[in-house]
A and B are shown apart, each in its own frame.
Chain A
Amino acid sequence: MLANRALYAHRRLTNMAFIVLSIGAAIFGLIWLAFILGALLKEGISALSPTLFTEVTPPPGSQGGLSNAIVGSVMMSVLAVLAGTPIGLFAGTYLAEYGKHTRFAFVVRFVNDILLSAPSIVTGIFIYEVLVAPMHHFSGWAGVAALTVIVIPVVVRTTENMLLLVPHSLREAATALGAPMSFVIRSVTWKAAQAGIITGVLLAVARISGETAPLLFTALGNNLMSLKLNAPMASLPVVIFQYALSPYQDWHTLAWAGALLVTATVLTLSIIARLLENKQRN
């Protein structure tokens, strides 16, 4: 009887400790999020000003903004998404509609998921070897290529997942009406999975808006406003990296402002993507 009670007390105590630790873990995770966002808002908002969008990155000790970096980031991201989306969409469609359980599809799926999580700095080296070294100069195009390589696996993964959610009866109904397979895919399956496919594209944009490592030695950077993709091009993440590691206070301030812009963009995109995904799943 006594032993039983002791055992019960022991079990309750263990359970209590376990529950406290789990709750502690959740609070631990949330606290970091709060700390990081708090610091970003505190340092970033005070650094925000209209000149951020109108002036180029300054030499140390003088006033300036981030306009060239913003323009560079937007240009390279848009082009990378334009290039990567069709490839990712088609490859994802192949996996979900044609390849399915074939050996080839298995290998593509496997390799795609490796590329999805592979270190992005390696992507930078790859593009450096393929584009920058033969051309003998850094360029916006190389930056676009590096970002495209990152966009593709993200779009492939979400496209396949979302197409698999489309009910089979929908495809069967369209096929029974005599529609050829490619027509069924384009006009029925894609349409049914529209919100999900857009989710994938948004996630890809969110992912590349903050990517720094692959741009360091492809697009490099540029202290002037430049729209030439054949020349080195500035980008927000690279400017943040260079300015934060510099010894100058006004460069630190600009780095914080850039960090706030990047985070706001990324988080907004992620939240929209999540809402769209929920819409698709319901």
Chain B
Amino acid sequence: MADIALIDENALTARAQTTRRASRGDARFHFLTWLAAALVLLIFAGVISALVVGAIPAFEAFGFGFLTTEVWSPARERFGALASIYGTLVTSFLAMLVAVPVGIGIAIFLTELCPRMLRRPIGIAIELLAGIPSIIYGIWGLFVFAPWFQEHIQLPVISATTGIPVIGTLFGGSAYGIGVVTASLILSIMILPFISAVTRDVFETVPAMLKEATYGLGCTTWEVMWRVVLPFSRSGVVGGAMLALGRALGETMAVTFVIGNAHKIDSSLFAPGTTISATIANEFTEATTELYTSSLISLGLVLFFITFVVLACAQLMLRSLEQRAGK
């Protein structure tokens, strides 16, 4: 009897040990995954602090006037961010002007009009546009698109609009091929797939019953989309557009190739300009003095701040949509 009890007790301790070992392994694994998640936060904090620390000399030298001065002269060590900020905002704005309606149009085509058989291949083809690296858009823009644009769009538009007030100024100057409008158009092609992919996904969350009911009342496709689907999915569409805007603001290589890297704000949209990211990409390795490097890092800080705000808004809108969808 006593023997059996002893064996039992041994078995119990063995099992307890196994359980304890397992739970210790469990805790260790839990901790490791937590550590990896914390590392994501650490990277983010690292990016911000690196930018802030690097930006200090420039802000000490120029104050907040850095943001509102147009002068950019490495020779005289005078730096102002205005031309770059202007270029970033204008190219992104023009790109959105083209990409939002077209992107939504593509999404509507894919969800409502496209024959079922073509739906997948066309959807994939549009998404491939998103996969092409930005440097490819850059080299294509420089060697193929810019010369074509110069000959077939810029020259006719310039000669057609000379003399007209306002419009004549906006599209005045010489046809360089490269410039603000060229960069904006290439940006719009790049962000198109982001908008159409998100919009399509959002459209698909609209209950089929709702659409069928509207069709049943005798509404046309346009009326169903405009009065039912779009209002229903508004926050998702806006979120997708802001996500694309975040991309456009920070896009570097495609823009650097075709914007012309001119540090001035020109009244003409065809003129060469620069953006924050293009300035950094072009000049960072050439920056020889501390102040020059610090000014470029300050530009990076400004860019990070702008994109952070835009992307944060985009996320909050898409998140609220997810919650409504009952996730």
Q: Which residues of A contact B (CB under 8 A)?
A: 11-12, 14-15, 18-19, 21-26, 28-30, 32-33, 35-36, 39-40, 43, 86-91, 93-95, 97-99, 104-105, 107-108, 110-115, 117-126, 128-130, 149, 152-153, 156, 180-183, 185-186, 206, 209-213, 216-217, 220, 237, 240-241, 244-245, 252, 255-256, 259, 262-263, 266-267, 270-271, 274
Contact = CB atoms under 8 A, between A and B. Distances in A.
B37 A152 contact: no
Nearest to A96: B33
Interface in B21-75: 22-23, 25-26, 28-30, 32-41, 43-44, 46-47, 50-51, 53-54
Contacts of B133: 209-212, 237, 262-263, 266
B105 interface: yes
B148 to A, nearest CB: 9
B12 interface: no
B292 to A, nearest CB: 13
Contacts of A122: 47, 51, 250, 300, 303-304
A90 B32 contact: yes
Contact of B285 (A30, A87, A93, A216): A216
Given A12-B220, A90-B33, A117 B50 contact: no
Nearest to B277: A121
6 shortest interchain CB distances as A-B pairs: A210-B133, A119-B250, A25-B105, A90-B36, A182-B29, A94-B33
A117 B105 contact: no
Nearest to B28: A182
Given A22-B109, A29-B192, A180 B26 contact: yes
A252 B143 contact: yes
A91 to B, nearest CB: 4
Interface in B137-172: 137-140, 142-144
Contacts of A113: 311, 315
Interface in B219-236: 220-223, 225
Contact of B131 (A26, A115, A206): A206
A18 B113 CA distance: 11
Contact of B308 (A105, A114, A241, A271): A114
Interface of B: 22-23, 25-26, 28-30, 32-41, 43-44, 46-47, 50-51, 53-54, 101-106, 108-110, 112-114, 122, 124-129, 131-140, 142-144, 189, 192-193, 196, 220-223, 225, 243, 246-247, 249-253, 256-257, 277, 280-281, 284-285, 296-297, 300, 303-304, 307-308, 311-312, 315
A126 B144 contact: no
Contacts of A244: 138-139, 142-143, 257
A114 B315 contact: yes
Given A32-B189, A244-B257, A210 B251 contact: no
Decide if the interface of chain A is mainly helix, strand, loop or mixed.
Answer: helix
B36 A91 contact: yes
8 contacts: A33-B125, A93-B33, A94-B36, A130-B50, A181-B30, A182-B26, A211-B133, A252-B143
B121 to A, nearest CB: 10
A58 B298 CA distance: 36
Interface centre among B41, B44, B247 (most CB of A within 10 A): B44
Given A21-B105, A93-B33, A209-B133, A120 B250 contact: yes
B25 A180 contact: yes
Contacts of A89: 36
Contacts of B253: 212-213, 237, 241
B112 to A, nearest CB: 8
A91 B135 CA distance: 30
Contact of B311 (A40, A114, A152): A114
